[in-house]
C-alpha cells in the first residue's frame, strides 16, 4: 500500500536560498454499487521544518481505510516514523476483515515495528501520533475510528449551521493526568506510536449519513482552526481538494509553523441503487411472510386445537418481554 509524504529536500541548503513550503494534494473517488466516497487530502511542510514529518494514506487503495500520522521527535526519524506507521497500518488491515480488535492489534504491531526500524538505524528518538478511519458494511454508513496522541477526527454534517463535531479526545498529559517530562507541556501528546508507550489504542464507532464528512487532521491544523471554521471551509462550493488546501492556508494565516495535514472522506449514497436494494428487501420480506402465514394457516386447519393456539400466544408474549428486556447496543467498542 502506498503512502504519501512530500519528498525530503537536500539536507544542506544555503541560508539565503528561497524556501517555499512543499505542499502535496491528492483527490480520488471511490464507487461501490451503493455508495460514492469523495476523497481529498492536503499536506504542507511547516515553516520551521526542513522536511515534512506528517504522512497520510494514498486515496486509491482497495480498502476504505485512511490514516494521518504526525511524526514526533524532529528530523528524519520523525518523518520515517510517520511514513512507516501508515505503511504498517495498511499492511495489517488492507483486504482483511476490519473490526475494533484488528485495528488495536495493527496499532500495537506498528508500535513495535516502527520502534525496531528506527533503533536499527540510530539511537535518536522517532515516533508518531495518528488518526484512522475505516468504513464497514455494504452502505459504508458505519465507520471505525482510532487514534493515538493528538491527531484528531471530526465529523462535518450536511447541515450548514452546525460546527464540525470532534469525535476524538487528545492523549495529552493533561487529559491522562500525567506529569510531562522536563521541557514538555501539559497539552503535548503523552502517547505515540513507536516508543512502546501505547498499551490500549483508542477505537470507537461512528455513523456517517449522506453528505457528511469525516475529517482527519494533524495538530498543525486543529490548533489554529476551530470546529466552526473547519465546517465552513469544507462546505464551500469549490472542489473538495481545493477546500482542503484552503484549510492549510487558513492555518498558516493563523500562525501555524508546524507541518499540517488534512484528509477528508465525504459519503454520498447512490440513491437509485439504494432504493433498488430497499425495494428488493421489502419484496423478499413480503414473500417470506406470505409463505409463513400460508404454512401456519394449513397447520391450524389440520390440528384445530385451541390449547395449541393459547400456548403459542403465551410463548409469543414471553418472547416479546424478553426482547424488550435486552440492553440497547452500545456504540463504543469494549
- The gap from C-alpha 127 to its chain's centroid, in whole angstroms, comes to 20
Say if residue 17's pLDDT is above 70: no
Residue 314 has a pLDDT of 43
The CATH fold of domain 3-9+19-269 = Phosphatase 2c; domain 1 (3.60.40)
pLDDT > 90: what percent of the chain?
A: 62
Residue 295 has a pLDDT of 75
With helix as H, strand as E and coil as C, how does 240-257 read?
HHHHHHHHHHHHHHCCCC
Residue 2 — very low, low, confident or very high, per pLDDT cuts 50/70/90? very low
Residue 300 has a pLDDT of 52
pTM beyond 0.75: yes
The pLDDT tens digits of the residues spanning 262-289 come to 999 999 999 655 455 555 665 667 687 8
Provide the mean pLDDT of the chain. Answer: 83
Higher-confidence residue of 303 and 258: namely: 258
Cα(43)–Cα(260) distance, rounded to whole angstroms? 6
Cα(214)–Cα(134) distance, rounded to whole angstroms? 10
The pLDDT tens digits of the residues spanning 151-208 come to 999 999 998 889 999 999 999 999 999 999 888 899 999 999 998 888 889 999 999 9
Say if residue 72's pLDDT is above 70: yes
Highest mean pLDDT out of 10-14, 245-249, 320-324: 245-249
Cβ contacts of residue 173 below 8 Å, gap of 6+? 179, 180, 184, 185, 186, 187, 188, 190
Cell of 196: 512502546
Residue 281 has a pLDDT of 60
Residue 293 has a pLDDT of 77
Lowest mean pLDDT among 7-21, 26-40, 49-63, 96-110: 7-21
The pLDDT tens digits of the residues spanning 203-232 come to 999 999 999 999 999 999 999 999 999 999
Cell of 87: 505503511
pLDDT > 70: what percent of the chain?
A: 77
Residue 333 in 3-state DSSP? coil
Cα(18)–Cα(312) distance, rounded to whole angstroms? 84
Residue 47 has a pLDDT of 83
Cα(279)–Cα(273) distance, rounded to whole angstroms? 10
Amino acid at each position: 500500500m502506498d503512502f504519501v509524504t512530500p519528498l525530503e529536500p537536500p539536507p544542506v541548503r544555503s541560508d539565503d536560498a528561497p524556501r517555499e513550503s512543499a505542499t502535496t494534494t491528492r483527490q480520488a473517488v471511490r464507487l461501490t454499487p451503493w455508495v460514492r466516497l469523495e476523497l481529498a487530502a492536503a499536506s504542507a511542510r511547516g515553516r520551521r521544518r526542513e522536511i515534512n514529518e506528517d504522512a497520510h494514506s494514498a486515496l486509491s487503495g482497495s480498502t476504505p481505510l485512511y490514516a494521518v500520522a504526525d511524526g514526533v521527535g524532529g528530523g528524519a526519524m520523525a518523518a520515517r516514523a510517520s511514513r512507516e506507521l501508515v505503511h504498517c497500518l495498511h499492511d495489517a488491515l488492507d483486504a482483511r476483515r476490519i473490526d475494533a480488535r484488528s485495528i488495536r492489534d495493527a496499532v500495537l504491531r506498528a508500535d513495535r515495528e516502527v520502534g525496531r526500524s528506527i533503533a536499527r538505524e540510530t539511537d535518536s528518538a522517532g515516533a508518531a501520533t495518528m488518526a484512522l478511519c475505516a468504513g464497514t458494511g455494504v452502505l459504508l454508513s458505519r465507520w471505525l475510528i482510532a487514534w493515538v496522541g493528538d491527531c484528531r477526527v471530526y465529523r462535518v454534517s450536511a447541515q450548514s449551521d452546525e460546527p464540525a463535531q470532534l469525535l476524538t479526545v487528545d492523549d495529552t498529559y493533561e487529559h491522562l493526568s500525567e506529569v510531562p517530562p522536563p521541557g514538555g507541556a501539559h497539552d503535548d501528546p503523552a502517547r505515540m506510536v513507536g516508543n512502546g508507550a501505547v498499551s490500549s489504542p483508542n477505537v470507537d464507532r461512528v455513523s456517517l449519513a449522506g453528505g457528511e464528512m469525516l475529517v482527519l487532521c494533524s495538530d498543525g491544523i486543529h490548533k489554529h482552526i476551530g470546529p466552526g471554521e473547519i465546517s465552513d471551509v469544507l462546505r464551500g462550493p469549490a472542489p473538495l481538494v481545493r477546500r482542503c488546501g484552503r484549510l492549510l492556508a487558513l492555518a498558516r494565516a493563523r500562525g501555524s509553523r508546524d507541518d499540517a495535514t488534512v484528509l477528508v472522506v465525504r459519503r454520498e449514497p447512490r440513491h437509485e441503487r439504494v432504493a433498488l436494494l430497499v425495494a428488493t428487501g421489502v419484496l423478499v420480506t413480503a414473500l417470506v411472510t406470505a409463505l409463513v402465514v400460508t404454512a401456519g394457516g394449513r397447520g391450524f386447519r389440520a390440528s384445530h386445537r385451541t390449547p395449541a393456539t393459547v400456548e403459542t400466544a403465551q410463548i409469543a408474549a414471553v418472547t416479546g418481554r424478553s426482547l424488550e428486556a435486552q440492553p440497547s447496543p452500545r456504540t463504543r467498542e469494549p
